[in-house]
Amino acid sequence: MAAADRVTDRQITAVIVDDHAAIAAGVRAWCERATPPIDLVDAEGRLAWVWTGRGAAADVVIFDLELVPGRPDFGALRRLVDHGRRVVVYSQHADNATAIKCVDLGALAYLTKREGADHLVPAIRDAAAGRPYTAPSLSGALMSDNAPDRPRLSTRETEVLRAWFASSSKELVARKLDITVKTVDTHIARVRVKYANAGRAARTKSDLVSRALEDGLITLAELNTP
């Protein structure tokens, strides 16, 4: 948790790559209003700016998957992740396949543009600390994932994912399932660790798994159960 603590000591910076000026302006407003505020750099839809200047130094990259409409740029996402960047994918797409692919490539969060400040701000904070954030839409995608090589989730985990997807309120999930909010978070985090342990290798993913093992969030035995 040392790395995470260091990040929270100073102001988090994030860079947004989105070809829609209104989205960037809206996200800037949310970041400024957040407590503590998040410093946002607008790359004005140019991927190059994420790699140079202030963009290169940002803790988190908020990435619009479709800078060219109709062509999700998974290659750019992979390059970002391979260079150790912590990426929050902010996409118009709501389909399962896109969301799961982004997670598999190593994005720490996947949000649809219907999901606003309530989810984007916590996602940026979690990503800055190297933690995954699972928004309700991604929860829905993980819950209904029926790929043959998907990680095996426990009944409780699926139940929590389902409830979080349905209500988009962790307090409500906690009260309905009669558990604490922290337990809700733990279940969701365990799902992400299981997903991070599967598929394509990426640094963000292996970091996530090793941290989960260190923190005792999950055991090696649980992880290796097919």
162 binds other proteins (CB under 8 A): yes
Stretch that binds other proteins, among 37-45, 62-70, 171-179, 197-205 (CB under 8 A): 171-179
Instruction: Name 71's bridge partners.
Output: 68
Instruction: Name 35's bridge partners.
Output: none
| 122-141 residues near other proteins, rule: CB under 8 A | 136-137, 140-141
55 binds other proteins (CB under 8 A): no
Element at 165 (helix H, strand E): helix 155-167
110 binds other proteins (CB under 8 A): no
Stretch that binds other proteins, among 13-21, 27-35, 102-110, 160-168 (CB under 8 A): 160-168
150 binds other proteins (CB under 8 A): no
96 binds other proteins (CB under 8 A): yes
3-state helix/strand/coil string of 170-225: HHHHHHHHCCCHHHHHHHHHHHHHHHHCCCCCCHHHHHHHHHHHHHCCCCHHHHHC
- In sequence order, the 6+-apart residues with CB closer than 8 A to the CB of 223 are 193, 194, 197, 209, 213
98 binds other proteins (CB under 8 A): no
Q: What are phi and psi of 13, to 5 degrees?
A: -115, 145
- Please check whether residue 167 is in contact with residue 221, taking contact to mean a CB–CB distance below 8 angstroms: no
Tell which one of 8, 11, 52, 144 touches other proteins (CB under 8 A). 144
- CB 146 to other proteins: min, Å: 6
Tell which one of 6, 10, 152, 175 touches other proteins (CB under 8 A). 175
167 binds other proteins (CB under 8 A): yes
- Please check whether residue 195 is in contact with residue 103, taking contact to mean a CB–CB distance below 8 angstroms: yes
- Please check whether residue 56 is in contact with residue 13, taking contact to mean a CB–CB distance below 8 angstroms: no
Closest to other proteins by CB, 55 vs 136, is: 136
Give 152's DSSP letter. Answer: P
Closest to other proteins by CB, 146 vs 224, is: 146
Binding site for other proteins (CB under 8 A): 94, 96, 114, 136-137, 140-141, 143-144, 146, 162, 165-169, 171-172, 175-176
